[in-house]
Amino acid sequence: MHIPARDQKFTLTINGLPVEGATTFDVTNPSTGQILAAAPQCSPEQLDEAVAAARTAFPAWAALPVAQRRQHLRTMADTIDTHTEMLADLVVQEQGKPRGIARAEVAGLGYWLRATADIALSDTVNQDDEERRSVTRHVPLGVVAAITPWNYPLGQASFKLGPALLAGNTVVLKPSAFTPLANLKLGEVLREVLPPGVLNVITGTGGLGSRLTGHPGFNKISFTGSTPTGRSVMAGAATTMARVTLELGGNDAAIVLPDVNVKETAAQLFWAAFANTGQICLATKRLYVHADIYDDMARELAALAAAVTMGDPAQDEDVELGPVSNLRQYQTVLDLLNDCRDQGYTFLSGGLPDPGTTGYFIRPTLVDNPPDSARIVREEQFGPVLPLLKYTDTADAITRANDSEYGLGASVWGADTEAAHRVAQQLQAGTVWVNESMHLHPHVPFGGHKQSGIGVESGLAGILAFTNTQTLTIKHTQPQA
């Protein structure tokens, strides 16, 4: 049953209890531009309380056998499944994505928790003989600050909660102030199944983020967001020597080789660029197309852009694209489009706010072969805009694709998969796909090169990022049988 967010009560979760915020702040519906609900503002004192609760809960949680922590993750997933519609409905209202994608996001959170629970954690025996036994093991860090962005409020939480908790840490989760509501309700439903203090959820605007990243009570900060903010997080963590994992911005390049089926590839590339209205860190943001097929590819993509349906997903379940998720990002995208217009670049589609709509709607925009120096090429758009870039020499396309401060993801598209693989091996990115894009798996590590981040999430490596390595060496004083 749909319950408008304005008719719901939202509280912080601290030490397993509902806690009123010191004050509240407004959350805006991006589909209408109107205030959606009031969210609790966590005070500095409440931040201290959340950290203290996590610190108190840590010894008992870390001491649990890993098999019991695995079962807790599975119970969390089962609980989330029973609240799918409620959580998805909040994501639709506060973030603006279509309802089907919001449901998939909630389902993905449960899936990620279960799959993470299945990852084996084991010690490594380095030496075991008559002289000594040496074993390397991985012990939890302590209290983790998990800071998540607004584009996938629950999906991004899944990359942090499962690994951190399975490794034996306790967590203080802070979602974006643009999209706090679903995570506040997540804290509400999970405090019924987790020991008090194991998961705390706080929200707020202003200086809460900087207070959190510089707080001496955290042993680890796991942050997903922009590269400039990531630098600030790293600076704050340096004051306490907290470990960091940073999943930051991207400007992912796709290289399309001339032997592709243009129509089929265009359909895949369109959604690689414009799914979630282009607001995905791994979305294709630069598209390099061989000159032999450039015009055909441009026509196919423009036709797809013209046909896609946009609207308020809370009012129409059939819309394919929602709005840009907040006013700040909307203005960023419009600024890039205005720069394209000022520079005389050609739009093959879009280029303007969607007429006849309220909220932060921009039609899918294709920019026709702007120069490599253009802002629309150099900067991360994080919105429904894609520059199409023409090339004639594959080596040149590789050089141009790598000419970026970012290195999160990339893709290569070609009928000859061996040739495409050779190209993929030369791209400077943490994840490179051939003939697909944005496919992630809970057992596979994911992270960025260059300015796109530090460390990885997911997989065994992602879990170990929430641990300290400890080697225990025992020298035998008596001969061993």
Give the model confidence (pLDDT) of 16-69 as tens digits.
Answer: 999 999 999 999 999 999 999 999 999 999 999 999 999 999 999 999 999 999
| pLDDT at res. 4 | 84
**Contact (Cβ atoms closer than 8 angstroms) between residue 172 and residue 202:** yes
Positive or negative: CA dihedral 36, 37, 41, 47: negative
Q: Is the pTM of this model over 0.75?
A: yes
Banded model confidence at residue 354, pLDDT cuts 50, 70, 90: confident
| pLDDT at res. 258 | 99
Judge whether residue 480 has pLDDT over 70: no
Residue percentage of the chain with pLDDT more than 70: 99
Q: Are residues 94 and 176 in the same domain?
A: yes
Q: Are residues 242 and 348 in the same domain?
A: no
Mean pLDDT rounded to a whole number for the chain: 97
For residue 29, what is the enclosing H or E element? strand 23-29
- Does 447 map to a domain? no
Q: Are residues 203 and 293 in the same domain?
A: no
User: What would the mean pLDDT of 320-345 be, rounded to a whole number?
Assistant: 98
List the domain range (segments joined by +) for residue 344: 252-434
Long-range contacts of 291-299, Cβ-Cβ distance < 8 Å, separation of 24 or more: 291/390, 291/391, 291/392, 292/258, 293/256, 293/258, 293/260, 293/262, 294/369, 294/388, 294/390, 296/262, 297/256, 297/262, 297/265, 297/266, 297/269, 297/388, 298/348, 298/366, 298/368, 298/388
340 catalytic? Reply is no
C-alpha 184/C-alpha 181 separation (Å) is 5
Q: Are residues 109 and 244 in the same domain?
A: yes
- Does 441 map to a domain? no
User: What would the mean pLDDT of 337-366 be, rounded to a whole number?
Assistant: 94
Q: Which two tokens stand for residue 245?
A: 């994992």
Judge whether residue 6 has pLDDT over 90: no
Q: Which of 196, 195, 202, 218 is nearest to 141 (CA)?
A: 218
CATH of the domain at 297: 3.40.309.10
| pLDDT at res. 357 | 80
Give the model confidence (pLDDT) of 411-428 as tens digits.
Answer: 999 999 999 999 999 999
Q: Where are the alpha helices (DSSP H) in 82-179?
A: 84-95, 99-117, 153-166
Judge whether residue 343 has pLDDT over 80: yes
- Does 279 map to a domain? yes
- The Cα-based distances of 249 to 223, 226, 234, 256, 405 in angstroms read 11, 5, 15, 23, 10
Q: Are residues 295 and 187 in the same domain?
A: no
Judge whether residue 373 has pLDDT over 70: yes
| pLDDT at res. 206 | 85
Judge whether residue 180 has pLDDT over 70: yes
User: What would the mean pLDDT of 219-247 be, rounded to a whole number?
Assistant: 97
User: What would the mean pLDDT of 347-361 be, rounded to a whole number?
Assistant: 90
Tell me the CB-side half-sphere exposure of residue 92, using CA atoms within 13 A. 27
C-alpha 382/C-alpha 108 separation (Å) is 22
C-alpha 97/C-alpha 320 separation (Å) is 9
Strand 199-201 to 170-174 pairing: parallel
Positive or negative: CA dihedral 435, 436, 441, 447: positive
Of the listed 94, 247, 300, 380, which one is catalytic?
Answer: 247
Q: Which two tokens stand for residue 28?
A: 């805006």
C-alpha 77/C-alpha 187 separation (Å) is 13
**Contact (Cβ atoms closer than 8 angstroms) between residue 178 and residue 34:** no
| pLDDT at res. 198 | 99
| pLDDT at res. 1 | 58
**Residue 137: helix, strand or coil by DSSP?**
strand
Give the model confidence (pLDDT) of 131-170 as tens digits.
Answer: 999 999 999 999 999 999 999 999 999 999 999 999 999 9
Higher pLDDT, 272 or 355: 272
Q: Where are the alpha helices (DSSP H) in 250-290?
A: 262-274
Q: How many CB atoms lie within 10 A of CB 431?
A: 24
Question: Which of 2-6, 138-142, 256-260 is least confident?
Answer: 2-6
User: What would the mean pLDDT of 279-302 be, rounded to a whole number?
Assistant: 99
Judge whether residue 481 has pLDDT over 80: no
Q: Are residues 208 and 298 in the same domain?
A: no
CATH of the domain at 54: 3.40.605.10
- Does 321 map to a domain? yes
Tell me the CB-side half-sphere exposure of residue 437, using CA atoms within 13 A. 31
Q: Are residues 280 and 233 in the same domain?
A: no
Q: Are residues 58 and 164 in the same domain?
A: yes
405 catalytic? Reply is no
- Does 410 map to a domain? yes
Q: Which residues contact 214 (CB under 8 A, 6 or more apart)?
A: 236, 237, 239, 240
Of the listed 42, 188, 281, 457, which one is catalytic?
Answer: 281
Residue percentage of the chain with pLDDT more than 90: 96
Banded model confidence at residue 376, pLDDT cuts 50, 70, 90: very high
Q: Which residues contact 86 (CB under 8 A, 6 or more apart)?
A: 3, 185
User: What would the mean pLDDT of 121-129 be, rounded to a whole number?
Assistant: 95
- The Cα-based distances of 286 to 153, 342, 352, 403 in angstroms read 25, 20, 19, 11
DSSP string for 374-393 = SHHHHS---SSEEEEEEES-
Q: Are residues 208 and 278 in the same domain?
A: no
Q: Which residues contact 80 (CB under 8 A, 6 or more apart)?
A: 87, 106, 109, 110, 113, 186, 189, 190
Residue 472 DSSP code: E
- Does 476 map to a domain? no
- Does 259 map to a domain? yes
Q: Are residues 292 and 220 in the same domain?
A: no
As for how many domains the chain has, the answer is 2
C-alpha 294/C-alpha 417 separation (Å) is 20
- Does 340 map to a domain? yes
Q: Are residues 210 and 357 in the same domain?
A: no
Q: Are residues 229 and 283 in the same domain?
A: no
